[in-house]
């Protein structure tokens, strides 16, 4: 700031503590409003009011600071002094909000637990886990990641969409994914992938079809159909059943109409082996807010699971895109305040308790197994198996 010589004036010390009303200070005007202090050049208008000891002390601090900045004998420019804003919340906290053992031994223990799993005290041969969620959440990628973590080698079977934004479901059929053992046979865990929930009433998989799948009425291979009205029923008298058609590869989900019991992919008399034993909601924790129509579908699905007694958990995927700290080091996942905030928001929106939501990083850019990623994935799988065993135990008591 350029100041001419004739404008140079010495700023005198402030007057003593006294009441000053309707006159200017000799040196400068001072106005204190709450915590905000404005310092103006010489000769400005009078400052009404009472100068208190606190105001004088504040003025003295301002004068000392101005002298340090601009030197004595110069007119100070107009300055506004505000209290320092509170520092922003740190992206990570010192103490993790969920304890985790990140050692190699922990990963091996989790792998052993999952590989040795057998349904307890039940005639059910396989634990059936249904994965559902909004379009683009990463359901298929999660299934591939689970199998990779269990087997200890890269695995891709469920077709996954790598597009950053998706409005239409990439998965189009109800498909089972079994996990092959190191030797022969399969692990007694089956993950079922289904079409994603889309915004709007007549788009994506219907909540009613997922409800039928939970009850065991939907056969594997049932596929999505283009968004066209359901064909009118033909033949037969009113109220008379149609002939049940045999399953075909063209049997499809119809977004405008729920699967009919007369369809060949409808199982009329499901057994406990056909029913879903754990319901897993998968979401992209980094995505914008979920639309109200999708939230409504998710709530309807959750209510059916509740009525059937099926345990429910949620998987928060794409955590590495949530904040830079997790992208740099997955072990910071439970120190991220932003991730906890996002998970809490989802918990409040859908109703799944926070302690039943498990963050994971899916295998997408990583081609080789990673211990830290595996620990998060296998921890989620361990809880799925434990909740499933509790459900099977209760089912056995009923049967």
What does the pLDDT profile of the chain (399 residues) look like in tens digits? 444 444 444 444 444 434 434 444 444 444 433 344 444 444 444 444 455 666 667 667 766 766 666 565 545 554 444 456 666 667 777 889 999 999 999 999 999 999 999 998 678 999 999 999 998 888 989 999 999 999 988 876 655 554 444 445 555 678 899 998 887 899 999 999 988 888 877 676 788 889 999 999 988 877 755 444 444 443 333 333 333 334 444 444 455 457 778 677 788 999 999 999 999 999 999 887 788 999 999 999 999 999 999 999 999 999 999 888 999 999 999 999 999 999 999 999 889 999 999 999 999 877 788 999 999 999 999 999 999 999 998 887 776
Q: What angle do CA 258, 136, 298 make, to 5 degrees?
A: 45
> In the listed set 47, 81, 115, which residue is the last one of a domain according to the structure?
81
Whether 231 is in a domain gets the answer: no
pLDDT on residue 254: 52
Residues 56 and 200 in one domain: no
Count: domains in the chain: 2
Same domain, 198 and 332: yes
CA distances from 277 to 103, 168, 311, 393 (A): 31, 27, 7, 11
Residues 75 and 110 in one domain: no
Question: Which DSSP state fits 335?
Answer: G
237 within some domain:
no
Give the integer Cα–Cα distance in Å for 345 and 131.
21
Q: Is the pTM of this model over 0.75?
A: no
Return the structure tokens found at 100: 């985790």
- What pLDDT, on a 0 to 100 scale, did the predictor assign at position 155? 73
Q: Are 192 and 172 in contact (CB under 8 A)?
A: no
Q: Rounded to whole angstroms, what are the CA distances from 390 to 133, 175, 269, 355, 394? A: 23, 25, 24, 17, 6
pLDDT at 306: 95
pLDDT score for 46? 41
Asked if the structure places residue 63 within a domain, the reply is yes
Structure-derived torsion over alpha carbons of residues 380, 384, 387, 389, reported in degrees to the nearest 10 = -130
Question: Based on the domain organization, do 45 and 175 belong to the same domain?
Answer: no
Maximal CA-CA distance, the chain: 107
Q: Is residue 167 part of a domain?
A: yes
**74 shares a domain with 109:** no
CATH code (residue 345): 3.40.50.300
Do 55 and 146 share a domain, yes or no? no
Q: How far apart are CA 246 and CA 263, in angstroms?
A: 8
* Alpha carbons 28 and 76: distance in angstroms, whole number: 10
pLDDT value of position 89: 64
Its domain, for residue 299, covers 104-226+244-398
- How high is the pLDDT of residue 399? 61
Helix (H/G/I), strand (E/B), else coil: 93: coil
**Would you say residue 94 lies in a domain?**
no
Same domain as 167, residue 21: no
Q: Are residues 352 and 268 in the same domain?
A: yes
Does residue 130 belong to any structural domain of this protein? yes
């Amino acid at each position: 700031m350029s100041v001419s010589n004739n404008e140079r004036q010495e700023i005198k010390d402030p007057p003593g503590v006294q009441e000053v009303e309707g006159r200017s200070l000799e040196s400068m005007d001072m106005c204190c409003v709450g915590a905000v202090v404005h310092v103006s050049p010489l000769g400005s208008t009078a400052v009404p009011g009472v100068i208190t000891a606190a105001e004088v002390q504040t003025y003295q601090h301002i004068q000392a600071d101005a002298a340090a900045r601009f030197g004595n004998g110069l007119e100070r420019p107009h300055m506004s002094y505000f209290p320092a804003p509170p520092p922003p919340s740190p992206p990570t906290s010192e103490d993790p909000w969920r304890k985790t053992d990140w050692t190699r031994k922990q990963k091996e223990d989790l792998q052993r637990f999952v590989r040795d799993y057998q349904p307890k005290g039940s005639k059910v041969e396989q634990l059936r886990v249904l994965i559902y969620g909004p379009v683009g959440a990463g359901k298929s990628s999660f299934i591939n990641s689970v199998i990779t973590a269990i087997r200890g080698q890269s695995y891709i079977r469920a077709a996954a969409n790598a597009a950053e934004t998706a409005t239409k479901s990439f998965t189009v059929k109800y498909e089972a994914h079994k996990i092959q053992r190191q030797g022969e046979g399969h692990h007694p865990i089956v993950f079922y992938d289904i079409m994603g929930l889309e915004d709007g009433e007549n788009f994506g998989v219907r909540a009613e079809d997922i409800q039928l799948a939970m009850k065991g009425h939907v056969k594997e291979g049932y596929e999505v159909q283009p968004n066209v009205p359901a064909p009118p029923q033909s033949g037969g008298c009113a109220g008379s059943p149609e002939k049940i058609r045999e399953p075909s590869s063209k049997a499809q989900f119809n977004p405008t109409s729920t699967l009919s019991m007369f369809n060949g992919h409808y199982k009329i008399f499901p057994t406990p082996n056909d029913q879903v034993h754990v319901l897993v909601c998968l979401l992209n924790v980094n995505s914008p807010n979920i639309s109200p129509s999708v939230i409504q579908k998710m709530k309807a699905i959750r209510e059916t699971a509740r009525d059937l007694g099926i345990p429910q958990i949620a998987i928060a995927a794409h955590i590495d895109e949530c904040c830079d700290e997790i992208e740099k080091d997955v072990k910071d996942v439970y120190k991220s305040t932003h991730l906890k905030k996002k998970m809490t928001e989802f918990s409040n929106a859908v109703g799944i308790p926070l302690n039943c939501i498990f963050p994971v990083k899916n295998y997408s850019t990583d081609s080789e197994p990673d211990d830290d990623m595996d620990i998060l994935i296998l921890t989620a799988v361990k809880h799925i198996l434990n909740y499933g065993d509790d459900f099977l135990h209760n089912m056995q008591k009923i049967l």
